[in-house]
Every structure is written in structure tokens, then in C-alpha cells.
Amino acid sequence: MDALFGDDLLERPRREVAPGAVWVPGFLDPTQQAWLVARFREWAEGPVPPRAAKVRGHEMSVKTVCLGWHWRPYAYTREAVDVNGREVLDVPDWMVRLGRSAIAAAYGDDPGEWSETLRLEGDYTPDTALVNFYDEAARMGMHQDRDEVSRAPVVSLSIGDSCTFRFGNTETRNKPYEDLVLESGDLFVFGGPSRLAYHAVTRMHPGTAPPGCGLEAGRINITLRETGLDG
């Protein structure tokens, strides 16, 4: 049976791209994808609308709406001080559970050899979600996610159009890196030795959103993180 239903027969099997960085294609089914898109539309209604964050004076091409903590480059605050000053929505309980099932899908129910390096203190409990919307021209340059105090894994979910995702190393924004195509429903988790790896979205693939995912065009990316902040 293993041979019949083993990962090796899947077109896009789960794969460890770098130590602690795991790609799980097709983690979300189409119903879950469409449900998350509907939630995104609610979050976009406010209290804080999606906005293009400014990095060193330049607007990002991606628009972001945050839950739990509001992210702006180099800082997390409860109020969206660079948008309208309103407090962001809470991270819903179902999202914490989704984060835990993502961690289990990536590392296994019993991370064993991983547990030392993943910096999980108890169950994974993301206290922020950054929800990004990419139109067909949007991209995100090579960067590290290092505004969090916690080094627990980052859980990343993709819905809608595919994109080319570049996953690199922790030392430089240059090679070695690998380019992957993240499709609607894919999960990518990076923790442990890859927690501070540089990564980027180098381009979108317009027209690839599958029917039934809830988005006709564009891409939604949800990243869950533990900030390690109090208050």
C-alpha cells in the first residue's frame, strides 16, 4: 500500500527544501481556500484596510492586512499607526488550530529530531497573521522575517494565482537559493535552521488561480507567526 499511495507517486510531493523548511503542496482543499478568501474579504473591510507598507520610503507592491499585531517594517504594534491608528482584529482561534495542523503536516505529529531546533515552547500559538494580496504585477524582494522576537516557525499559505517563490539561505540574499512554484492551497513552513532564511516572491503567474479557490485573479498569502511580544 505504501508503494501505491506513497508520496513518490504524488505529482508534487511534500518536500524538505532546506533543513527545517518544508513545502506541502495541496495542504488546503478548494473549500478551505474559498472559505479563507471569504474571510480575507471581511478582514479587508476593516477596522484597518489592506495597505502597501513603506520600506525605506518606497511602497511595497503587495497590500497587507494584519491580525493580532499590526506589522510595519521593523515593528509590530497593536494599532495600525501607519494606516489609521485603529487596533487590528484578533487572531481567531480557528487560525491557531490551522497553524498547528500546518506544523504537524510539515514536521509530523511528533517532530522528534526537530523539536530541539524548532523553538516551539509548547504548542505552536501564532499571535499574528500577515495577509498579503498580490496583483499580477506584485512581487516581494529578498528579505528575512526577523521582526519577531520568537524564532518559532513561520507558516505560509497560498491561495489564488501561482507565484515563483525563491527560498535561499540565512547568510546572504544571493545564491544558493531555489525557485519553486507555489500553487493555490500550498503550505510552506520555515523554522529551525531555516527560520531566518532569505526569501522572495519573484513573480506572479496570472491566470493560474484554479476554479473554486474563491479568487479569480491575484494571490493571497497568509503568514502565521509567533511574535514573542507581550501586551
Binding site for ligand SIN (CB under 6 A): 132, 140, 156, 165, 199, 201, 221, 223
The smaller minimum CB distance to ligand SIN, of residues 5 and 149, is found at: 149
Closer by beta carbon to ligand SIN, 132 or else 194 = 132
Amino acid at 136: E
Q: Which residue has the cell 489564488?
A: 160
Nearer to ligand SIN among residue 129 and residue 140 (C-beta): 140
The CA-based angle 16-156-33, given to 5 degrees, is 115
Task: State the binding partner of 132 from Mn ion, ligand SIN, none, CB within 5 to 8 A by kind.
Answer: ligand SIN
Q: Which residue's beta carbon is nearest to the bound ligand SIN?
A: 221
Query: How distant, in Å, are the alpha carbons of 6, 39, 196 from that of 92?
Result: 34, 11, 26
Question: And the C-alpha cell for 131?
Answer: 495577509
CB of 143 to Mn ion, least distance (A): 6
3-state secondary structure of 96: helix
For the bound state, the minimum distance from the C-beta of residue 201 to ligand SIN, rounded and expressed in Å, comes to: 5
Q: How far is the CB of 60 from Mn ion (least distance, A)?
A: 11
Strands (E), the chain: 15-18, 21-24, 54-55, 58-59, 63-67, 70-72, 75-77, 128-134, 140-143, 154-160, 162-167, 178-182, 187-190, 199-205, 219-225
Choose the contact partner of 225 out of ligand SIN, Mn ion, none; CB within 5 to 8 A by kind: none
CB of 98 or CB of 166, closer to Mn ion:
166
Written as nine digits, the cell of 16 is: 524538505
Q: Which residue's CB comes closest to Mn ion?
A: 145
CA dihedral 69, 70, 73, 75 (to 10 degrees): -50
What is the closest distance, in whole angstroms, from the C-beta atom of residue 157 to ligand SIN in the complex?
9
Residue 95 binds which one of Mn ion, ligand SIN, none, with CB within 5 to 8 A depending on kind? none
Give the binding site for Mn ion (CB under 5 A): 145
Nearer to ligand SIN, 8 or 179 (CB): 179
What are residue 25's phi and psi, to 5 degrees? Answer: -60, 145
* Among ligand SIN, Mn ion, none, residue 221 binds (CB under 5-8 Å by kind): ligand SIN
Beta-strand relationship, 128-134 and 219-225: antiparallel
Residue 213: name its binding partner from Mn ion, ligand SIN, none (Cβ under 5 to 8 Å by kind): none
Closer by beta carbon to Mn ion, 194 or else 214: 194
